[in-house]
């Protein structure tokens, strides 16, 4: 091997090592408070800001204020601690329903969802719906999911038992309602990926759908929730 080729190869190796070292340091800094994460989860959390910048934001709004054909407040879910939660208990508040996963590029949205819940819990309720529908990114049990969310993101908002949110014969009743205009009045859009957000207003009307790339504390969400 000529000295020129050798030096060129060594420079390439050195540059790659520097980039790799920088990436390792970046991931370590971004995850300094992470307590119960796999290596994959730590990498995804570290690169979440980049994922959000390149994602194409999609949304839909009930601009005509079409009323639901089936009463939202007639629905009921089971929380991950096996207790029943009636949607009628949310009357007078806006509700953010979001399908979640622990092993996704958008998992870091748990942090902003918790901030949203903490800051506006007098007028907004956030409910998470863990699901393993997209690339099997939520394989954990209900207990493991709750522990992961609490330890790494301080989640205190309600989490439902893990279920199916994508359209199928086994889709959860509440997601059937959210993604069928014959039930909610106007929207047929089911979750396109993990961390899609649906907003219900104080009167039980579905007003907005936001996909994964729309941040929970972004201007679009805040406007829809009336907390700009």
**Mode of pairing for the β-strands spanning 197-200 and 124-130:** unpaired
At which residue do the structure tokens 């049990």 appear? 141
Residue from 142, 147, 148, 60 nearest 104 by CA: 148
Give the other-Cβ count within 10 Å of 65's Cβ.
Answer: 12
Burial of 151 (0-12, 13-18, 19+ CB in 10 A): middle
Distance CA 88, CA 54 (A): 38
Q: What is the CA radius of gyration of the chain?
A: 21
Distance CA 119, CA 92 (A): 17
Burial of 142 (0-12, 13-18, 19+ CB in 10 A): middle
Say if residues 137 and 104 touch (Cβ distance below 8 Å): yes
Is 149 considered catalytic here?
no
Burial 15-43 (b: 16+ CB within 10 A, else e): eeeeeeeeeeeebeebbeebeebeeebbb
Of 17, 104, 149, 196, the active-site residue reads: 104
Catalytic residue numbers? 104
């Amino acid at each position: 091997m000529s000295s020129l080729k050798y030096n060129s190869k060594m420079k390439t190796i050195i540059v790659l090592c520097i980039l790799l070292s920088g990436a390792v340091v970046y991931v370590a800094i971004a995850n300094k408070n992470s307590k119960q994460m796999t290596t994959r989860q730590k990498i995804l959390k570290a690169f979440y800001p980049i994922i959000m910048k390149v994602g194409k934001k999609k949304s839909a709004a009930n601009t005509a204020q079409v009323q639901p054909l089936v009463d939202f407040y007639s629905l009921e879910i089971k929380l991950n601690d096996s207790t029943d939660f009636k949607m009628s208990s949310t009357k007078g508040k806006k509700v953010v329903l979001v399908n979640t996963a622990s092993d996704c590029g958008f998992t870091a949205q748990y942090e902003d969802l918790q901030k949203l819940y903490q800051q506006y819990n007098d007028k907004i309720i956030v409910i998470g719906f863990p699901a393993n529908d997209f690339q099997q990114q939520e394989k954990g049990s209900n207990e493991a999911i709750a522990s992961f969310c609490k330890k790494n993101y301080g989640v205190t908002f309600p989490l439902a038992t893990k279920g199916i949110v994508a359209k199928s014969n086994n889709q959860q009743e509440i997601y059937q309602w959210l993604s069928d205009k014959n039930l909610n009045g106007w929207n047929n859009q089911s979750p396109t990926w993990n961390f899609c957000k649906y907003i219900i207003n104080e009167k039980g009307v579905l007003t907005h759908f936001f996909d994964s790339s729309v941040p929970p504390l972004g201007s679009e969400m805040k406007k829809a929730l009336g907390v700009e």
